[in-house]
């Protein structure tokens, strides 16, 4: 599955709610999920880490949907096989 396919799947499932909620509230949900991911990492619970990573990705897709940003295009235009700062792979940044 491509990133765009995942983003489109999230749009199919949640667009009616995400659009009504608006970008700021969706962004707050994203930040909350990042916090929950941090807690799962601190707790060292592999199942929770996996679940929170999925939630974080889903809310990131939601924020991109509401902002009408193609997440795959954005990601690959910046991170296309090389580090965007040093232009190398692997990265040689200090
Ligand atoms: Zn680099």
Quick one: pLDDT at residue 85?
96
pTM here is 0.93
Quick one: pLDDT at residue 28?
98
Ordered per-residue pLDDT tens for the chain, 94 residues: 999 999 999 999 999 999 999 999 999 999 999 999 999 999 999 999 999 999 999 999 999 999 999 999 999 999 999 999 999 999 999 9
Q: Which runs of consecutive H residues, i.e. helices, occur in the chain?
A: 3-21, 23-43, 46-66, 71-78
Quick one: pLDDT at residue 27?
98
Name residues with Cβ closer than 5 Å to ligand 1, which is an ion: 83, 85-86, 91, 93
CA of 94 to the centre of ligand 1 (A): 8
Token pair recorded at residue 31 = 């930040």
């Amino acid at each position: 599955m491509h990133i765009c396919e995942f983003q489109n799947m999230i749009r199919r499932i949640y667009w009616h709610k995400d659009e009504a909620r608006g970008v700021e509230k969706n962004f707050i949900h994203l930040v909350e999920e990042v916090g929950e991911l941090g807690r799962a990492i601190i707790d060292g619970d592999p199942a929770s880490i996996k679940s929170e990573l999925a939630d974080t990705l889903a809310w990131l897709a939601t924020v991109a949907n509401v902002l009408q940003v193609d997440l795959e295009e954005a990601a690959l235009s910046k991170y296309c096989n090389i580090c965007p700062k040093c232009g190398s792979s692997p990265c040689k940044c200090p």
